Chains A and B, each alone.
Chain A
């Protein structure tokens, strides 16, 4: 008899995981509803379904692409929103497509491919949508053995140790061939002593690269109530990992790293699985009366950590963070009063509801690690909504003063309700320079591209893509960072447009 093994099997599977939860199908035809909405509001095409599983084209270039700017913008984003006729109920549930914009001596070549995830392959084999997502579920959905069953690689990319990884929020990285963009499969970091305990552990979409070239990241395992912390060496191998119990768990999307600490905000969006949940978001409860906890972790010793509190708030993205000699950490982020942009707007947009909610304002935070206090303060005038902060990668995890972000002014009456300005903001002087995109274009994340040989945060470029909904074209624009208000100095246009993506990285060389 081998009862012990099976008893252990059952105990393990029953214990750290919530009761079996299958979301309900709403039985509505969102594909039809959305198609109708696009006829009335053509800019919603940015949330349409991708038409092909791969793209490749030389872009038509305009303006002056500098010889000194050589590299690749790798990006990912949800692109396949309709699976055999079933339209996803959340923007972030779309199957991921990875992009490469190869910029080389004045030419710009674009490639894109759907990521061959386990999810995509299972759906293709079944000939139908299979899984419950952040919102809703298709009829006759299949159960999950773990988060990687629905890992779409659609959130961000990391290029580390010559390896391109497509990242998602709660699962493993997908390795992508940087030349062909073919999917190589789920990637497991090499572990000390050849171990395998990190396989399938959550690796979030916003790792931070430290000055020594090593990478810090976190991940959340909702059912287990654990935050996982990762430190990957510049050589690509796992240096160490740690676990911190968080009860109740929430959905942290990004974090910051300083000289000495990791800081992660834990909004009061409590994980509370329920048998009748309509998707993963519905397994959470927003509790504005509860604080947003702030977890401060010692980089050298993950077991050394403590919690502080801020008023309830929701943050997707931080710009950067640094710590001075007196132990004061300063960081910034796009702060929303609640998670409704994620729980409502990004579901409604899939249905075709054009009321694009405005959410986040840019805040600066001051965290004193000796006094163990934290305070927050608005960084911009009240009428400016922001998202997608980014920095010169050379100042990551260290003192910085320049931020790139997208924004929208409260008074703006653009035809589409989304972000439409790209900014360069000087934190020290408070000076904000920006360019407003034409109403026919929806900008995606913009990135700082350093000029070779330049000082950090000086003399660089800003590179960003945009969806031209009137012409059905995707474009990439180049700005001089210090002359952003003058508009793009060069651009390149594709003969097609691909549904709005999320994050990317510029890789020099």
Chain B
């Protein structure tokens, strides 16, 4: 089953004062290997290292999960470096649940399918360049 959702980054970026007259590109995010059709899939696109390691996003999606693949489209992105963070909020409590010792117990993933070592992926591993329309295929259960 495939679902496609589209959002324009234009307004978000304009609001942040980051919008310039450069060309605007489309980022397609294909999330594969969604094992469980319950809960909510949350996707966040960050522009630059500071935003990736800090707060905020240039585009965010929240959609009911489906088993298999979900596709999201972020439009009007100015050229630059981005990273994507995805979490599958299985029980819909709005949080990434963790176990007794603080490890995430719900699926999560990063752009480039980057993985950290005992922690989140690093910016250097998750970043990708947008200079024309680009697609990121990310597995939620690598």
Interface set of A (CB-CB < 8 Å, partner B): 1-10, 12-22, 132, 142-146, 196-202, 221, 223-224, 226, 228, 241, 243
Contacts and interface: CB of A to CB of B under 8 A. Distances in A.
Contact of B96 (A8, A132, A228): A8
A7 B60 contact: no
Nearest to B124: A20
A1 B60 contact: yes
Given A1-B60, A8-B96, A18-B118, 11 more contacts: A5-B95, A6-B55, A9-B85, A12-B102, A16-B101, A20-B120, A142-B115, A146-B104, A201-B99, A201-B103, A243-B100
A10 B119 CA distance: 10
B62 interface: yes
A5 B96 contact: yes
Contact of A14 (B42, B56, B60, B119): B119
A2 B101 contact: no
14 contacts: A6-B87, A15-B102, A17-B102, A20-B118, A21-B118, A22-B117, A132-B117, A145-B115, A197-B100, A197-B105, A199-B99, A221-B102, A223-B102, A226-B100
A9 B96 contact: yes
A144 B118 CA distance: 6
A15 B60 CA distance: 23
Most B-side CB within 10 Å, residue of A14, A20, A145, A198: A145
Q: Provide the main secondary structure of the chain A interface.
A: loop
Nearest to A17: B119
B105 to A, nearest CB: 5
A259 to B, nearest CB: 26
B60 A143 contact: no
B55 A19 contact: no
Contacts of B108: 9, 13
Interface core residue of A13, A16, A18, A243 (most chain B CB under 10 Å): A13
A144 B114 CA distance: 10
A120 B87 CA distance: 25
B57 interface: yes
B23 interface: no
A398 B1 CA distance: 58
Nearest to A21: B117
B98 interface: yes
B119 A200 contact: no
B122 A224 contact: no
Contacts of B97: 196
B64 interface: no
Contacts of B101: 16, 200-202, 221, 224, 226, 228, 243
Nearest to A122: B142
Contacts of B56: 3
Interface in B48-103: 53, 55-57, 60, 62, 85, 87, 89, 94-103
Nearest to A283: B118
Contacts of B103: 146, 200-201, 221, 224
A378 to B, nearest CB: 37
A18 B118 CA distance: 7
A144 to B, nearest CB: 5
B115 A144 contact: yes
Contacts of A223: 102, 118-119
B94 A143 contact: no
Nearest to B46: A6
Contacts of B115: 142-145
Contacts of A22: 117
Nearest to B101: A221
Contacts of B98: 12
A470 B87 CA distance: 55
A483 B117 CA distance: 52
Contacts of B87: 5-6, 9
Contacts of A226: 100-102
Interface centre among B103, B105, B122, by most chain A C-beta atoms within 10 angstroms, is: B103
B33 interface: no
B136 interface: no
Contacts of A132: 117
A297 B121 CA distance: 37
Contacts of A201: 99-101, 103
A308 B55 CA distance: 44
Count chain A CB atoms within 10 A of each CB in B85, B117, B119 and give the residue with the most: B117
B93 to A, nearest CB: 9
Given A2-B94, A9-B85, A12-B96, A199 B102 contact: no
A196 B105 contact: yes
A13 B105 contact: no
A198 B100 contact: yes
Contacts of A16: 101-102
8 shortest A-B CB distances, which residue pairs? A143-B115, A221-B101, A17-B119, A16-B102, A13-B120, A201-B100, A9-B96, A224-B101
B138 to A, nearest CB: 14
Contacts of A243: 100-101
B114 A143 contact: yes
A144 B125 CA distance: 13
